[in-house]
Each structure stands twice: as structure tokens, then as C-alpha cells.
Amino acid sequence: MTISDPTLTGHESIGRESIGHESIGQGIHIVGGGLTGYAAALSLAAAGFPVNIYQPHVPAVDQLRTTTINPAAYAMLDQLGVVAALPDDALTPVHHIMVTDDADRANPLDPVMSWSHTKSGKEKGNNEKTDHAPTPLAWVISNAVLVHAMQHMITASKLITCHALSMTGYHPRHPDYDHAAAALVSADDALIPASLIIAADGRNSQIRHAAGIRQISRNLGQTAIVSQITMTEPHRQIAWQRFLSGGPIALMPMADPHMFSLVWSMTNADAARLMDADKDRFAMALDDATGLAFGRMTDMTDRQAFAVIPTHAMWPVAQRLALIGDAAHAINPLAGQGYNLALADIKTLTHVLTTARRDGIDIGSHHILNRYALARAPEVAAMTLATDGLNMLFSFGKKRRRLAGMGMALANLPMVKSLAERVASGRMFGR
């Protein structure tokens, strides 16, 4: 691997000037590193494609955020060798999922919708089978740990080159290559030819904007607070979510049996108040929100807040350009499925490009990229509708209890419950 930023690997930098725009040439170019860009690079390299990654600097290590991995995403990461590269305790299995509301209940762990594992299978990579171990419904992992493992794999790859360059623009055609290449525009206004550009630069994608791809954004007036908290009662590998009037609160289990990853969506005003609250006041609010489902909060890390603004590209492809992950669809975080959708994007795109190469077809052609877009449309639409629908149905105040109750009753119907389970597990479309 060639690398222009020594902080990524600890190796000596070869320097930005020594790379030279002319040496990059045509090929597949990924804009954006982090969880999505790195996974895309690893997937494409595993399929034999040389890949360039562009990021202005190494992504800041987020010690607070976690990612929920469903079985389909786990299988993909396992196949790429990522699971085997993780520390033994990096993945915390989820064996039970419970969803409830803010109705007055004697037991806050009494769910209106729930499911548990029913099958046996593998727990940890390298295709190692444990005949009697239950297959988790999902796994929870620290973003920092996952990024670190991917960085090491990228360093070892001979097909992946990282460039410490900021990409600010896009042109559908490079002037020197006519129809054979698009152009990335760097911060110093250099034009870099690319057979295919993959935008993995997040919800506020500069490349998507430069390409003129229209988007739909819905400001829900909500902010999500994330932290890692310690409770008096153990999590017992339960993922627990409660719908409150201002938005849902989710507690995801971590390696420490008393530690949870917290994602708490609420009105912007409530979030501002709680971000300013001291630890004791925050603990009181949290204990009230959870109904003491896992006892009282005894400790917490720092807090972070981010706006809940689902954003979706009208069509995730353009001339020699494909959007993946949040650049294509930043969904409501309540279901914890954002990264699973990103990995499904990557898997589908890799398959489409591999097939095109086999058949001797230009990988950046409209025909090929539209295959990717059409293949991803059903699952993305289903997940968008599911998360938006849940948020609208269940985030009601007590004056609308009857309607909220109807929503929960519908959610517990066998057909709807089965659909929810298939969406959460990544098996909805046969992956």
C-alpha cells in the first residue's frame, strides 16, 4: 500500500508531492475514509480491483460511537477477514431485542415487541463453528476498534493506496480522456481522472453536491445524544429500545456486562438542556427515561450530540459516480441499521463491478451503475419507510396514547413482527 499520511499507519510518509496527480491515473477512486470508505476499499481489493482512497486526514477516532452489525453484515465482514482481525472481545453479541413505549408498566422490561435467537451457528470469524452456541441477532462494536482493524488491513493491502488529499468537486468528463474518465477536483484545483468515483463522504457529501444529485432531507426537530453508560443491573445481552414522546431511547450491550451504548433521540430543546446538564441531572433524566429497566446509571463517558436529519439521494448514481452509505441514504438512527445498509451497498456494488469486468463492460458506464442503483432501491426504500414509520407511530405524547397503542398493537402482529425481524437481521432480501 502507498500512503501519504504517516498517522494512518505509523510508517514514514512518502509525502504529498511524491504521489503526483499524474501518477494516480484512471481506476476506482473512493472519496472518504472511515467505516464506509475503508470497507468499500477492502471489498473491491478482495475482488481484485486496485483502489485509491482520498481523505484530507485520518478520520478522528470516535471513542463514544458504536455500530450495530446484523448477521448479513457480519457474514460480509467475516468473509473479508475483518472479524478475524478484531480483538476477541470486540464484538458484543445481542441475543434479545426488546421494544417498548412510555405507557405506565409495572415492569419496564415488559416489551410490546421482542424476539430472541432461535438457531445455532458461529460466533467469531475464520468460519469457526460452535455447534451449540446460539447465533446472535446482532453484534455491537466500537467504531474506533472497527476502524483500527480496517486500517491495519488496508496497510497490508497491495491494491489499496491512501492519499491525504481533499476532494472538493466532480466533473462527469475529464478533458484529457473524453468519455473514458470522469474527474475529481482536488482542493488545489487539480483534475484527477477516474474510471469510477465512489462517494463515501457522508450525509453532507461534497461529491454528491458537486454532481448535482438532488436529495430529500427531513428535519425531524430531533437531536440524538450518544454516550457510554454504566448501570447497576447487567444488560444480559439485551438490546432495549423505548419510544418516548420526544423520540426513542436505545441501550445496546457492550463487553462489560454493566455497560451500555446509549443513543437517545429527543427534541432539540431537550437535547440542548441535557447536553448542558451535569452528570447527576443527566442521570436523573436517564433513569426516568428508562424506567429503571437496568437499574440506575452510576457512570458515563463524555456526551456527543448530532442532529437527526434523514437524507436520501434521489438517485445514487451519475456519470461514473456511485454513492454509498450516508452519502446515498442517511436514515433515522432508531433502528441502528445505517452501517448495515452501507455494507449492503458495498456488497452489491462489488458484485455488479465484478460481473461487468468479467463480461468486458466498462465499470463506469451508466448501464452498470444503474444496475447497482436498481438493486439497492427496494431495501433502502423498505428501511426508510420502516424507520420513519416507527418514529411517527410510536413517538407520541400521552394525549395520543390510543393511536400509539394501536401502532404497538400493529407492530406485534405476527406478519409485521416477522417483517421487522427480517429487516433487522438483514435477511429481508435474501442476503
Question: What would the pLDDT profile of 31-44 be if each residue is shown by its tens digit?
Answer: 998 999 999 999 99
Q: Taking the CA atoms of the chain, what radius of gyration do you get in angstroms?
A: 22
Side chain identity, residue 294: F
Nearest to 342 by CA among 88, 150, 85, 86: 150
- Cross-strand partners of 263: 226, 250
The residue among 122 and 147 whose pLDDT is bigger is 147
How confident is the model at residue 214, as a pLDDT? 95
The model's pTM: 0.86
How confident is the model at residue 8, as a pLDDT? 34
Q: What is the mean pLDDT of residues 286-295?
A: 94
Nearest to 51 by CA among 311, 324, 327: 324
Listed in order, strand segments (DSSP E) in 187-221 are: 191-194, 196-199, 215-217
Dihedrals φ, ψ of 249, to 5°? -120, 135
Q: What is the 3-state secondary structure (H, E, C) of 11-47?
A: CCCCCHHHHCHHHHCCCEEEECCHHHHHHHHHHHHHC
Q: Are 340 and 70 in contact (CB under 8 A)?
A: yes
Q: What is the mean pLDDT of residues 14-21?
A: 31
How confident is the model at residue 26, as a pLDDT? 66
Q: What's the pLDDT tens digit per position in 374-398?
A: 999 998 888 887 777 666 666 554 4
User: What distance in Å separates the CA atoms of residue 112 and residue 205, rounded to the nearest whole number?
Assistant: 38
User: What distance in Å separates the CA atoms of residue 295 and residue 297, rounded to the nearest whole number?
Assistant: 7
Q: What's the pLDDT tens digit per position in 411-429?
A: 555 555 555 555 555 555 5
Q: Which of 44-48, 172-176, 315-319 is the least confident region?
A: 172-176
Question: Between the CA atoms of 143, 333, 373 and 172, what dihedral angle is there, to the nearest 10 degrees?
Answer: -70
Q: What angle do CA 36, 354, 20 make, to 5 degrees?
A: 60
Q: What is the largest CA-CA distance in the chain?
A: 71
User: What distance in Å separates the CA atoms of residue 160 and residue 38, rounded to the nearest whole number?
Assistant: 10
Q: Are 198 and 29 in contact (CB under 8 A)?
A: yes
Q: Which of 21-25, 158-162, 165-169, 232-236 is the least confident region?
A: 21-25
Under 8 Å CB-to-CB from 22, ≥6 apart: which residues?
none
Q: Are 41 and 47 in contact (CB under 8 A)?
A: no
Q: Are 73 and 186 in contact (CB under 8 A)?
A: no
The residue among 402 and 63 whose pLDDT is bigger is 63
3-state class percentages of the chain: helix first, strand second, coil last, to nearest 5: 40, 25, 35
User: What distance in Å separates the CA atoms of residue 173 and residue 427, rounded to the nearest whole number?
Assistant: 38
Q: What's the pLDDT tens digit per position in 246-270?
A: 888 999 999 999 999 999 999 999 9
Dihedrals φ, ψ of 392, to 5°? -75, -40
Residue 407 parent element (H or E):
helix 401-411
Nearest to 293 by CA among 247, 251, 248, 244: 251
Sketch out the chain's domains with CATH numbers.
6-62+144-217+311-386 (3.50.50.60), 66-143+219-308 (3.30.9.10)
Band of pLDDT at residue 167, cut at 50, 70 and 90: very high
The residue among 49 and 396 whose pLDDT is bigger is 49
Q: What does 133-164 look like in DSSP terms, one character per residue?
A: SBPPSEEEEEHHHHHHHHHHHHHH-SSEEEE-
Band of pLDDT at residue 333, cut at 50, 70 and 90: confident
- Cross-strand partners of 163: 54
CA distances from 277 to 231, 244, 301 (A): 19, 20, 14
Q: What is the mean pLDDT of residues 155-176?
A: 92
User: What distance in Å separates the CA atoms of residue 68 and residue 86, rounded to the nearest whole number?
Assistant: 15
